Amino acid sequence: MVWNDTEHADLFRNVNNIATGLSFVGSIFIMYQCLRTPSPRSVTIKLILSIAVADFIYSIANLMSSFEDLGPIVSTLCSTEATLRSFSFLLSIFFASCLGIVCYKTLSRGPHFDQETFFKRSLYIGVIYCTIQVLL
């Protein structure tokens, strides 16, 4: 069975909308749980919250692709969607990598690793790097 875009466009759009809705609800749930934890200021919780916020932005960009039949504003909507999608995708990968680095450094160095400074530097570097990548 051959799947092409013209015959199954509605199916692909529905699958995308369902997956995006699940991602949207899941990221809201993770953000709620992160803010509800007894120690919301720990670096690992901040990194998980950052990944959830990036996924939330990515799901908003995916939802924007559902409104492609709006006529003259399609090009603006498309460029906004592409910018949000690229920025949030790169940022979520960056924060997931930072989470792995924090776990490794905490286990290998113990109390000698300053997690808070690492998080602040990672946040600044990640946002600046992803912004530059999107603008290029």
What average pLDDT does the segment 48-57 reach? 89
Q: Which is higher by pLDDT, 130 or 110?
A: 130
Q: Is the pLDDT of residue 51 over 80?
A: yes
Q: Is the pLDDT of residue 1 over 60?
A: no
- Rg of the chain (C-alpha set): 18
Instruction: Evaluate whether the domain defined by 9-135 bears CATH number 1.10.1060.10.
Output: no
Contact 91, 84 (CB under 8 A): no
Task: Grade residue 75 by pLDDT with cuts at 50, 70 and 90.
Answer: low
Q: pLDDT tens digits, residue range 119-129?
A: 888 888 888 88
Q: Is the pLDDT of residue 31 over 80?
A: yes
Number of other CB atoms surrounding residue 25 within 10 Å: 11
